[in-house]
Amino acid sequence: MYTLWLMPDKATYLKLSKLIAELSTTHDAPSFEPHVTLLSGIVDDLGTAVNKTKQFAESLTSITARLTRIEFLEYYYRCLFFRTDESPALMKAREEAENFFDHTHIHPFIPHVSFLYGSLPVFQKEAIVSDLGAAFLVDFRLTKLRLVKTQRTPEHWELIKEYTL
């Protein structure tokens, strides 16, 4: 299975990567790269997925986004995350990706950047949210599109192709 990730600009990437590395170490959780999942569940064969991603990337430009608030859920991959604003450009990119990849809309699109995977009790999540405050609620640019093989767990994920927008 393949996934399309939108990658933050270099400064935001570095800031979020540092946070993810620190929290992953502290909470014995997997480390991963900060990203906004634009579309998951792509089941095309590798060649088709690469070709479609290249063509799709050529139709995109970088997108301005904002991290608006911190949330958490009882899902492993959404243990703690920053909600990303639902800007018209981001929502349009999602809609175009669904159309381009003939993707059935399985789950509602909730734009976000996860920063901790795992299963933590609510009180620990609340403490992390309190410690972070508003320091990460910033505007940033999504400047790259990646095609990532996302089978199994984060340590097995594999970057297939990356395109600058």
The per-residue pLDDT for range 103-113, each reduced to its tens digit, is: 876 678 999 99
Q: Which residues 6+ apart lie within 8 Å of 90 measured at CB?
A: 6, 36, 63, 65, 84, 111, 142
- Which residues, listed in sequence order, are joined to residue 145 by a DSSP beta bridge? 6, 163
The residue assigned the tokens 């990658």 is: 7
Q: CATH assignment of 2-164, given 1.10.10.10, 3.90.1140.10, 3.30.750.24, 3.30.70.600?
A: 3.90.1140.10
Residue at 10: amino acid letter: K
The residue assigned the tokens 């979020």 is: 16
Does this model's pTM top 0.85? My answer is yes
User: For the chain, which residues make up each domain, given as ranges?
Assistant: 2-164
Which pLDDT tens digit goes with each residue over 20-54?
999 999 999 999 999 999 999 999 999 999 999 99
